[in-house]
Chain A
Amino acid sequence: MSEREVLELLRENARYSTADIARMTDLEESEVEATVEELEAAGVVRGYQAVVDWDKLEDERVRAEVELNVTLDRETGYDDIAERLARFPQVKALRLISGDYDFDMEVEGDSIREVSQFISEKVAPVPEITQTVTHYVMTSYKENGIELGDGEDDDRLSYSP
């Protein structure tokens, strides 16, 4: 299935050129181009981003995983709360999940103060939210399927039989 193959390659590296993807999949370049356009138009591909290892930068970048519990009433559903939270640029990911709490929210900011302020001033006051538990990210080992850290050192011999 060519759509899937193209998607997998884009997820691996969104900067592969149309020509690269055509070579790797044995499709025509025009087919690749059309597939990508269709996937974008259908909203399957929502955007392209870099996977960043913030630990490698001097600047502090703070991330937190926040557990949110909510109580719903007759007028407000999960989608309403989600819509309200997702608008904040500090919120990088928001998911309704099963289990002990309702939403799983990823927040990013320049400092711990900024992140905690955002949670206490913008998130906690939302009337339906009954509890927030903030977990600051200490170290990230893998993001979007890509392992972070020292990078993959290839210590194989440069020549072998």
Chain B
Amino acid sequence: MTFELSDRVQAVPPSGIRRFFEIAEERDEVISLGVGEPDFATPWAARDAAIASLEQGKTSYTANRGKRELRESIADYVADRFDLGYDPDEEIIVTTGASEAVDLAFRAFVNPGDTVAVAQPCYISYEPGVTFAGGEVLPVPTTEEDDFRLTVESLEQAGAADADMLVICYPNNPTGAIMPAEDLEPIAEFAREHDLTVLSDEIYAELTYDGEHTSIASFEGMRERTIVFNGFSKAYAMTGLRLGYALGPADAIAAMNKIHQYTMLSAPTTPQYAALEALDTCDNDVREMVEEYDRRRQFVLSRFREIGMDVFEAKGAFYCFPEVPDGFTAEEFAEEVLREQGVAVVPGDVFGDVGEGHLRVSYATGLGDLRQALNRIEAFVEEHA
């Protein structure tokens, strides 16, 4: 017998990076700049706390919303870092990665046929998430001329005034763009004016190299209509531990928890202990990793300029977003540089049509490898461009 797939599953195309993955597997000595995860190991203190919790046999479920102590810690952390005030009892939910939180939000707030405006280029999971929830994505393109920031003009042009929800992600995957407070303010006003719910994915907040991260939820009248996603994957190099969280008004978090308690029961317990320790004692580790990313960022940006590829001045996350030279599509360039030079990068159109003509280049890779990878890209460009 064959399974009859649901329309929603069929509506989602296969991932745009899978084919590249297969080519990379065939080839020896690939230097990968295609990864969206830190190359550091989780700070020792956090790993130790996870190990200690296992040794003590702390392996049962936690509260559905996560350990209370952890929620308190998260509340203190976001208050301290981003000026966000959330009640650990009712306004915070700990999830299996920010990924689960994003999925919960779509399922909790999107009705079939609802329109979800998504600022693009963006992280690849939002569109399928909306589709699985039965909603429709309205792409809101951002452009290099605007430094890949979201503007009110682009929202208006895309017709987002009539949407039900808006998804934003700054610092951004894949562009590395950030939105300083003065750029977010008009977006907040637009959301209030048009009564949009805002989903703000701030998982790269700690990885901001120029100024401080501002959360859209910190603006007047925004807390009521915003869900903030964050997590431990990026800042604390904990991707495999799968721990994230969402912040929002009590009734919204209760709705997300309703789904979470039946599908997940609770986020895994061991990483919750790691996360507690991370928030408590790992500030220095985070600072050191951020300094290292920043050094690599400067290296990669200036190297692309030297090679003669235009590159946007990324100021957050660990990606940069150069333009492919004339005569290539993003996909052609990514495929050929992988086949010929063994350098893996992701074509920008994977992150939405507006990403065409760009590459996502991750610098979550040691300087030695980055240096070699850029030399290879240079050789490729010299030969073909």
- A residues contacting B by CB (< 8 A) are 9, 12-13, 16, 20, 23-26, 152, 154, 156-161
Q: How large is the interface on B (under 10, 10 to 19, 20 to 34, 35 or more residues)?
A: 20 to 34
Decide: B34 and A161 in contact? CB cutoff 8 A.
no
Select the stretch in B134-142, B291-299, B323-331 that faces chain A: B291-299
What distance in Å separates the Cβ of A16 from its nearest Cβ neighbour in chain B? 8
Residue of A nearest to B38 (CB): A156
Residue B346 CB within 8 A of the other chain: yes
A156-B35 in contact (CB<8A)? yes
Known: A12-B367, A24-B367. A159 touches B35 (CB 8 A): yes
CA distance A23 to B305 in the complex (A): 11
CA distance A154 to B33 in the complex (A): 12
CB distance from A159 to the nearest CB of B (A): 4
Q: Are A161 and B124 in contact (CB under 8 A)?
A: yes
Contact indicator A157/B296 (Cβ below 8 Å): no
A159 close to B125 (CB less than 8 A): no
Task: Say yes or no: B298 contacts A23, CB within 8 Å.
Answer: yes
Assess whether A156 is in contact with B125, with CB atoms less than 8 Å apart: no
Q: Is the interface of B mostly helix, strand, loop or mixed?
A: mixed
Residues of A contacting B366 in the complex (Cβ-Cβ under 8 angstroms): 152
Does any Cβ of A come within 8 Å of B37's Cβ?
Answer: yes
Say yes or no: A160 contacts B34, CB within 8 Å. yes
Q: Is the interface of A mostly helix, strand, loop or mixed?
A: loop
B-chain residues with CB within 8 Å of residue A16 when the two chains form the complex = 367
Residues on B close to A: CB < 8 A? 17, 20-21, 24-25, 30, 32, 34-37, 39, 123-125, 173, 295-296, 298-299, 302-303, 344, 346, 365-368, 371
B298 and A158 contact, CB distance less than 8 A: no
A80, B20: Cα distance in complex, Å: 65
Are the C-beta atoms of B299 and A159 separated by less than 8 Å? no
Closest approach, in angstroms, between the C-beta of B285 and any C-beta of chain A? 17
Q: Which residues of A contact B299 (CB under 8 A)?
A: 20, 23-24
Q: Once the chains bind, are A160 and B36 in contact (CB under 8 Å)? A: yes
The answer to whether A158 and B24 touch across the interface, beta carbons within 8 angstroms, is: yes
Query: CB distance A157 to B21 under 8 Å?
Result: yes
